[in-house]
């Protein structure tokens, strides 16, 4: 059971607590309590072993393919969280004996997790146990665990078995060779394992320190080496009332780390650097290292915190929960890696990146951390190799981005088969990798938004223009001529609403594709006007005259679905021929995908029912595409037919409802976003948190209630707080200048905390803010 500290004290709105242990529902807290720093993610499986645990240590970029029949995935590195304790010979586990005063708390302020309890053995002897963990934000390679054991009813012999355990898999797939295992200087454990296909050397160094009532202790100690395991056995005598403290520190390095990129000795360097790092960490100790990490987190919160004044204090906690996970889901300085759909919190979606990044997560980084945003877009630039390969393999020109992306040269990595069909019993083919193609236009949209917000010409010259032009070349070859319509059309796709397959002229896809082509034409015009080396390089690569001719010819006659007499934009051709069914049982089921218990994909495709209404996503992204009355009609029409079975859906509906003045509805959808990972359903996050939902929560607060929009190259701010909120304050970065927006009731203020003037449209009025100036409306 989850509990939130929402009291009026210094810890209010920062703490998430698990108040009792349920062996059948371990996955949720393992995911939402996950600790990380963008380089690595340590899932919060408990230190002692239980059936049903998932003990994940994931490091960004280390993708491996188990065999030729499977797609690549992030491998689960050897486990270092294991602490097997025997107290007077009895193995400590909470499903044995009796557990009282149990609490496990995630403190978002410093990214630390603390578990405390009193455990009574079956023979009645009691012990107090406290476990603490951190993953360092100050040094991305370091993580630590500290355990304290106090016997309450007499002296105790305590035995610890712990180390580096390579006997882990990714849902059954073993990604590492046996590995090299050794103990160095009688103190430092080293395991170097190499992935089976990608040949990435992963180096783990672990060391222990022991204390009895604060004084360093030397136990009886034996090394333990077994297949895929290296550890120690330590035995202590602990007097009644005294506390045995065990510190376990680990350093993780891999040959794929950014600092070794291109080095032939990467594996050797990673091992040597890891050893030096664990020596230094051991000298400092857990307390100093945890303090350094807390200081790094404090610096993050000082810059990034969003402050909410709400009648429901959970709202503040929810926003901070989202910010916490946004901060740990990506290595912000490595352009070779993206963001997985579960970040580094679990094995769901194999660590692959989707369109989620550009549409739901990237806006957060663009408007708050442009350097990180540039790195994420550079990842897409480096992925042009795979995009061009996919286009060529499918008979198209240009760059066709993979639906699922992993390492920068892996290309398309979407699995071919999914779960069983409820009707036929056969595996369901996964078509998204073949015909969900809007991802290509989504990447271009990300480039467009980044340039509008930052004005980063260097990025456009190095990466952005090439992405825009080559993706537009794909769309020019993807459209086909429809003689009856006298227009170019896009046939046989899946839009964002994945409950509809093999559709023609999906509104979202067509409009986004045309936008992509328009951006490419503007890019070539801009390059012609500016001239220079970038223009010469790209003109030699693409031949602007031919490229402009081909793209313009298609764009000018591209078919774009228009609102009908009732104002509704058809989601795709033939949409209104679909059957309307009663969706009440599925809207109220409290379970994602409940409709699949009754129907299969083929049947669902014949109904007016949506996983998410992609036409509404279009209206959110292109704010000025349709007049307000059309938005209103489409919002109500599609919302009634949407099950919100996608974790991406509710944030879109929240922002649009806020736009339309539907205060109560917008707030209800905001609460729904919180329920995805922090709600009472204990099975929602077993495979990891929903990273796009974290970005969606930020969009609810900043786009929806903060009223922020980027229209063209202008920043618009028109706040509209829900009735439950009386205050909202959030940071933005516009054209390199940090801003702080504060909304109190109907009044909004924008403070320019930068060194240069900026222009904003505040509540419809254009305002130029000098450095240090605040405007209020």
Q: Would you name the residues annotated as active-site residues?
A: 498
Phi-psi category of residue 262: left, alpha or beta, with phi > 0 → left and psi -120 to 50 → alpha: left
Would you state the torsion angle of the CA atoms of residues 66, 69, 74, 78, taken in this order, to the nearest 10 degrees?
Answer: -20
Point out which residues pair with 237 in neighbouring strands.
157
* Sequence-ordered alpha helix ranges (H) in 501-639: 507-530, 533-542, 544-556, 584-587, 601-604, 614-621, 628-639
Q: Residue 258 has what DSSP assignment?
A: G
Question: What angle, rounded to 10 degrees, do the helices at 614-621 and 507-530 form?
Answer: 30
Among 225, 244, 323, which Cα is nearest to 14's? 323
> Cα separation of 554 and 402, whole Å?
23
Q: Residue 348 has what DSSP assignment?
A: G
Phi-psi category of residue 718: left, alpha or beta, with phi > 0 → left and psi -120 to 50 → alpha: beta
In 400-486 the beta strands, taken as DSSP E runs, fall at 417-420, 427-429, 480-482
Phi-psi category of residue 284: left, alpha or beta, with phi > 0 → left and psi -120 to 50 → alpha: alpha
Cα three-residue angle 514-515-520, rounded to 5 degrees: 95
> Residues 43, 57: contact at Cβ < 8 Å?
yes
> Cα separation of 358 and 335, whole Å?
15
Q: What are the tokens at 742?
A: 């504060």
Residue with tokens 């580096």: 164
Q: How far is CA 402 from the centre of its chain?
A: 18
Among 556, 572, 563, 567, which Cα is nearest to 486's? 556
Give the distance between the most distant pair of CA atoms in the chain: 89
Count of beta carbons in the 10 Å neighbourhood of residue 643: 20
Among 460, 376, 448, which Cα is nearest to 621's? 448
Q: What are the tokens at 429?
A: 């083919």
Among 120, 250, 270, which Cα is nearest to 202's? 270
Report the SS3 class of residue 576.
helix
Q: What are the tokens at 706?
A: 């903060």
Among 511, 508, 516, which Cα is nearest to 614's? 508
Q: On the CB side of 221, how many CA atoms lie within 13 Å of its CA?
A: 15
Q: Residue 504 has what DSSP assignment?
A: S
Question: What angle, rounded to 10 degrees, do the helices at 465-478 and 370-382 form?
Answer: 50
> Cα separation of 317 and 17, whole Å?
12
Q: On the CB side of 412, how many CA atoms lie within 13 Å of its CA?
A: 26
Residue 78 to residues 48, 166, 762, Cα–Cα distance (Å): 16, 4, 52
> Cα separation of 464 and 512, whole Å?
17
> Cα separation of 123 and 538, whole Å?
77
* Sequence-ordered alpha helix ranges (H) in 623-678: 628-639, 649-659, 663-678
């Amino acid at each position: 059971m989850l509990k939130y500290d929402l009291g009026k004290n210094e810890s209010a709105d920062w703490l998430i607590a698990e108040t009792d242990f349920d062996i059948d529902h371990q996955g949720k807290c393992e995911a939402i309590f996950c600790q990380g720093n963008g380089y690595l993610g340590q899932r919060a499986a408990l230190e002692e072993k239980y059936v049903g645990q998932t003990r994940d240590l994931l490091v960004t970029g280390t993708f491996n393919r188990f065999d030729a029949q499977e797609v690549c995935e992030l491998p689960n590195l050897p486990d270092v969280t294991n602490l097997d304790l025997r107290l007077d010979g009895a193995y400590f586990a909470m499903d044995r004996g009796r557990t009282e005063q149990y609490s496990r708390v995630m403190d978002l302020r410093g990214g630390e997790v603390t578990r405390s309890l009193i455990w009574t053995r079956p023979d009645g002897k009691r012990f107090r146990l406290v476990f603490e963990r951190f993953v360092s934000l100050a040094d991305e390679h370091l993580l630590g665990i500290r355990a304290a054991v106090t016997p309450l009813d007499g002296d105790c012999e305590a035995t610890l078995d712990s180390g580096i355990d390579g006997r882990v898999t990714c849902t059954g797939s073993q990604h590492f060779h046996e590995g090299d295992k050794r103990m160095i200087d009688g103190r430092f454990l080293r395991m170097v394992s190499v992935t089976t296909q990608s040949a990435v050397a992963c180096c783990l160094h672990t060391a222990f320190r022991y204390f009895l009532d604060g004084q360093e202790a030397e136990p009886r100690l034996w090394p333990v080496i077994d297949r895929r395991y290296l550890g120690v056995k330590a035995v202590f005598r602990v007097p009644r009332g005294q506390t045995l403290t065990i510190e376990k520190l680990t350093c993780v390095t891999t040959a794929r780390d950014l600092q070794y990129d291109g080095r032939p000795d990467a594996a050797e360097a990673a091992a040597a650097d890891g050893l030096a790092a664990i020596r230094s960490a051991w000298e400092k100790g857990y307390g100093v290292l945890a303090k350094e990490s807390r200081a790094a987190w404090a610096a993050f919160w000082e810059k990034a915190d969003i402050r909410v004044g709400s009648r429901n204090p959970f709202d503040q906690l929810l926003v901070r929960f989202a910010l916490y996970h946004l901060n740990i889901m990506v290595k912000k300085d490595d352009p070779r890696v993206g963001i997985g759909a579960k970040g580094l919190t679990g094995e769901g979606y194999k660590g692959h990146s989707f369109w989620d990044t550009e549409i739901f997560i990237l806006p957060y980084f663009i408007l708050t951390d442009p350097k990180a945003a540039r790195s994420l877009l550079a990842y897409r630039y480096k992925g042009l190799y795979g995009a061009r390969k996919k286009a060529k393999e499918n008979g198209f020109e240009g760059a066709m981005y993979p639906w699922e992306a992993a390492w920068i040269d892996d290309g398309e990595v979407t699995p071919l088969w999914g779960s069983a069909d409820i009707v036929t019993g056969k595996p369901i083919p996964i078509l998204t990798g073949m015909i969900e193609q809007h991802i290509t236009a989504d990447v271009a949209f990300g480039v467009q938004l980044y340039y509008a917000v930052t004005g980063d010409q260097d990025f456009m010259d190095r990466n952005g223009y090439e992405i825009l032009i080559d993706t537009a070349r794909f769309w020019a070859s993807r459209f086909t001529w429809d003689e009856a319509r006298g227009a170019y059309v896009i046939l046989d796709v899946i839009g964002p609403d994945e409950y509809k397959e093999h559709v023609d002229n999906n509104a979202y896809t067509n409009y986004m594709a045309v936008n992509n082509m328009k951006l490419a034409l503007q890019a070539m015009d801009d390059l012609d006007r500016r001239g220079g080396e970038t223009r010469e390089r790209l003109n030699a690569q693409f031949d602007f005259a031919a490229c402009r001719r081909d793209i313009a010819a298609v764009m000018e006659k591209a078919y774009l679905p228009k609102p009908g007499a009732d104002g509704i934009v058809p989601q795709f051709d033939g949409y209104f021929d679909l059957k309307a069914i009663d969706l009440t049982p599925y809207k109220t089921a409290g379970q994602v995908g409940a409709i699949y218990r009754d129907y299969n994909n083929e049947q669902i495709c014949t109904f007016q029912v949506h996983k998410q209404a992609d036409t509404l996503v279009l209206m959110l992204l292109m704010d000025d595409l349709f007049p307000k009355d059309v938005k209103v009609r489409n919002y109500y029409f599609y919302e009634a037919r949407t099950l919100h079975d996608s974790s991406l859906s509710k944030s879109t509906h929240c922002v649009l409802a806020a736009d339309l003045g539907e205060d109560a509805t917008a707030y209800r959808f905001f609460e729904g976003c919180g329920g995805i990972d922090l709600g009472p359903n204990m099975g929602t996050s077993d495979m990891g948190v929903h990273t796009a939902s974290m970005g969606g929560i930020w969009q609810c607060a900043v786009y929806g209630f903060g009223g922020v929009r980027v229209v063209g190259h202008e920043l618009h701010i028109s706040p509209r707080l829900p009735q439950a909120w009386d205050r909202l304050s959030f940071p933005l970065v516009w054209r390199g200048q940090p801003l702080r927006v504060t909304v109190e009731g109907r009044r909004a203020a924008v403070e320019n905390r930068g060194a240069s003037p900026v222009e904003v449209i505040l509540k419809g009025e254009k305002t130029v803010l000098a450095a240090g100036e605040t405007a209020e409306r």
